[in-house]
Structure 1
Amino acid sequence: MSSSTTPTAYAVSPDSGEHWSKEGAWRVTDGIHRIPLPLPMDGLKAINVYVLETADGLTLIDGGWAIEVARDLLERCLRDIGYGFGDIRRFLVTHVHRDHFTMATVLGHEYGADVALGLGDKPALDLLNDPTLDESPFLEVLRTAGAHELAELWAAGGGERPDPAIWLLPDTWLEGDQRIAVGTRTLDAVHTPGHTPGHYVFADRGAGLLFAGDHVLPTITPSIGFTVPPTPDPLGDFMASLTKVRALPDLQILPAHGPVAPSSHARVDELLSFHDDRLEQSLAAIADAPATGFTVAHQLAWTRHEKSYDELDPFSQGMAAMETKAHLELLVARGRATREETPGGVLFSAAPIGSSA
């Protein structure tokens, strides 16, 4: 939840010369356009959908959130560059979160376009389509982080059952690293679990581009721990995936949120450094007494403005509690902390000096 360089709220994207979220189909390079679509009620403001032109039609990387205002804007922007929904042949979706997946699956089923998603996100779709689900599955994640009152607040504010009409299964499951032909381009589909278990980035080495989804964001740190069903060590997965992307050539970042940015290597290094620092801060917070992720989150600063936890809105507070728990879980995995499951949430304690792995 921290940021680097220019704040997202003020970031200008070099392809448009405008604020990165300004409406339009912005030319990134020959045959590739970036279309920011709105995210109402979300601090991120927009998601970038990337349109790749081929002789046979369009491939879109991510689809946006299945809401009317975003659908109408996507249709208008495609029309501005000479296309319509019927020209879409495939969606390559970076991960299952609603702002990336739901419009892709709705349009894919309406127009017969293939929708591809990482297999690691299948458990999330299965859960969201479970007819016995009687509350938002994120509420239990909040409770294990010790944020019980926040879970009740989330529930009161819309923790209802997900709408199965926008959580349809994809046509293609992506598994492992593979190469995908998109017209004359070849994309390296690279599995990068962490933000979600099935997250993928798509590297166009020939053009020097990284379609980075939410894995490498230029102005903010991707949220960690905000996924269901929960995984044992999402931050450990994320940092390993960052190292994996760092081993690729240095590529221009085409992110899901924020402006086009020049260097994947530089940004990955910043993200790894941020989380290393956060791990040390989290460890210091449990040095004297056991604590939950919720309790430790109160001791940390949030966003580039170094806000206190109590200054955050309830949704951001929940994200912060989940992310802090992810840091504490990685400390456990590294032998630097211990954990105990209690009715009040998972309690973490610093491991005795000299016991770390």
Structure 2
Amino acid sequence: MVHQPTADGLSSTPSLVKQLLVVAAVATLGAAGTTGYTIWRSRIPHPNAVAAAASVAASQLTTVTALGRLEPRGEVIKVSASGTAEGNRIDRLLVKEGDRVKTGQAIAILDSRDRQQAALDQAQEQVRVAEANLAKVKAGAKNGEIQAQKATISRLSADRSNEITAQQAIVARLEIDRSTEIAAQQATIARIRAEQQGEIQTQQAAIARLQAELRNAISEDRRYSQLYEQGAISASTSDSKSLAAETAQQQLNEGKAKLNQIRQSRQQQINEAQAKLNQIQQSRQQQINEAQAKLSQIQQSRQQQINEAAANLDRIAEVRPVDIAAAAAEVSSAATAAKQAKANLDLAYIRAPRDAQVLKIHTHPGERVGNDGIV
């Protein structure tokens, strides 16, 4: 008898197949896992072997080198000097690496601090002077100042008169000295010329006498020569007369030479005396001109002083609004200069722009501030 499946049996067959497939898959995965685990366990080194390998590696390791960069969590700011402080050196450094600073805290002081402090002191002193001058202008001139200025004018007038009189006396004395020296030098020239004329005349008379003696000696020489030729006298007597004639000629020549010497030497003395006369005239005239120029200078300069003193008297005797305004402007200008000096002094102190920490110092005391700034 053949069994025919029913409808319920046909519907349960697929479900059984699925269950069999699941069981087969699980069995396969279990076998694979067991195999993999066995292989993995075979590759894991023994703990003692790992420790031995680590000990050997540690004995061979000497240096560990790596590249890296540390960066702060926030922003990095380079603090430097202002542009106007360029070229200054660091005088004092008030922080070190790792310090924390507050906003406005001084970090460094430039070497221009003392110079700027002196400039500030001077500017403040100028303010005090300008303020004192303004107060004086507002108060007006005192009666004692007016009287003192009048006395100054009187003194200047008297000094001018005395100096003019003294300088005029100097000019007169120089003119007298010039006239006296000129007259004396002219007298010297006249004396030399008179002496020249007298010596020339004396020498000319001597030459005339020598010429007469020469003529007589020549005549005697001729006469004795004839007598010698006639045998009336000896040769020595005739020769003596010839020698006398030659001597007279030589004396005559010397007399003429002396006459020329007298003329030349005396003329030289006259020329020198005339040159000295010209020098006296020029030098004395130069002194007179300089004295007169000084006289004119005294007159003008003293008059200028008197005019200035009179103008000052008018100025101090009147208090004008324009003077007060000018003095006030001087005070304002001095105050502005003091503010500028204070600002310049502040530039000598390098301060932290915000709360931060000093990471690196680029400029140390004595060094100029470079492109990297100070910190």
- Which has more strand, going by share of residues? 1
More helix by share: 2
Answer whether TM exceeds 0.5 for this pair: no
Highest Rg: 1 or 2?
2
Higher relative contact order (CA 8 A, sep 6+): 2
TM-score (norm 2): 0.12
Using the size of structure 1 for normalisation, the TM-score is 0.13
